[in-house]
Amino acid sequence: MNQRILDLIFFWTKTARNTNGDKLYLQAISSLGNDISPRDEAPDEYGCVDSLQEIYKLTFKEYIGAPKTLSTKILYQTLLFSPKYEKIEVPERGCIIISPTGHSTKGAPTGHTGIVGDCGIILSNDSRSGLWLENYTVRGWELYFGQRLGFPVKYFRVK
C-alpha cells in the first residue's frame, strides 16, 4: 500500500464517525490505484458507475439498485427515489457525487460519478486508465461538469 493511501486511512481512523458514508469512503480509499471493475462490464472510458457499484458492493454486500446499472442516468434515478439515499445540498465525506448523462444543458454526452472524500477530494474511475483515483475536487467537478459541460451536480448520502 502506498504512503498516500496509508495517510488517508490514518486520517480516517482519527475522524471516523461509523456512518455508512465513512464505511463507503474507507473502501474507496482502500481501492485507490486499482482497477476496481476488471471485468469491464463497461469500457474504462465509461466505467465510472461500474467502479462505484463494485466499491459499494464491497462495502454493503449489494449493488445500488437491482439489477446493477452501468448508467449514470439510471443510477441518478435510483439515488433520487430510493429510501436508502438522501439528497443533500452540501457535499460531505462518503457521499456520492453524480452528474447524470442525459441532463446536460449544453449537450454533453456523458456524465460521471464518484465518492467525495476529505477536503473535497473526489475519488472516481479514471477514464484513461480504468483505475480508481483521486481525480477531482468538488470545486473542480462543479466547474468542469457543472459550468463547462452543463450537467447538474448532485450529492447523495447513504442512509
What is the structure's pLDDT at 34?
Answer: 95
d(CA 137, CA 95): 13
Please report, in angstroms and rounded to a whole number, the separation of the first and last CA atoms in the chain.
30
Q: What is the pLDDT along the chain (159 residues), one digit of tens a residue?
A: 688 878 888 778 888 788 999 999 999 999 999 999 988 888 777 899 999 999 999 999 999 998 999 999 999 999 999 999 999 999 999 999 999 999 999 999 999 999 999 999 999 999 899 999 999 999 999 999 999 999 999 999 999
| Residue 104 cell numbers, joined | 446536460
What is the structure's pLDDT at 114?
Answer: 98
Residue 146 CB neighbours (<10 A): 16
Question: Can you give the pTM of this predicted structure?
Answer: 0.94
What is the structure's pLDDT at 1?
Answer: 61
d(CA 73, CA 80): 11
Q: How many CA atoms lie within 13 A of 33 on its CB side?
A: 7
Contacts (Cβ under 8 Å, ≥6 apart) of 77? none
Which domains are delineated in the chain? 3-158 (3.90.1720.10)
Residue for cell digits 435510483? Answer: 78
Give yes or no for a contact between 142 and 90, defined as CB atoms under 8 angstroms apart: no
What is the structure's pLDDT at 142?
Answer: 98
What is the structure's pLDDT at 8?
Answer: 82
What is the structure's pLDDT at 117?
Answer: 96
Q: What is the pLDDT of residues 114-124, one digit of tens each?
A: 999 999 999 99
Peptide bond between residue 67 and the one before it cis (omega within 30 degrees of 0): yes
| Residue 43 cell numbers, joined | 469500457
Residue 42 CB neighbours (<10 A): 18
Give the containing element (helix H, strand E) for 156: strand 154-158
What is the structure's pLDDT at 157?
Answer: 98
Q: What is the pLDDT of residues 71-100, one digit of tens each?
A: 999 999 999 999 999 999 999 999 999 999
Contacts (Cβ under 8 Å, ≥6 apart) of 61? none
d(CA 86, CA 78): 11
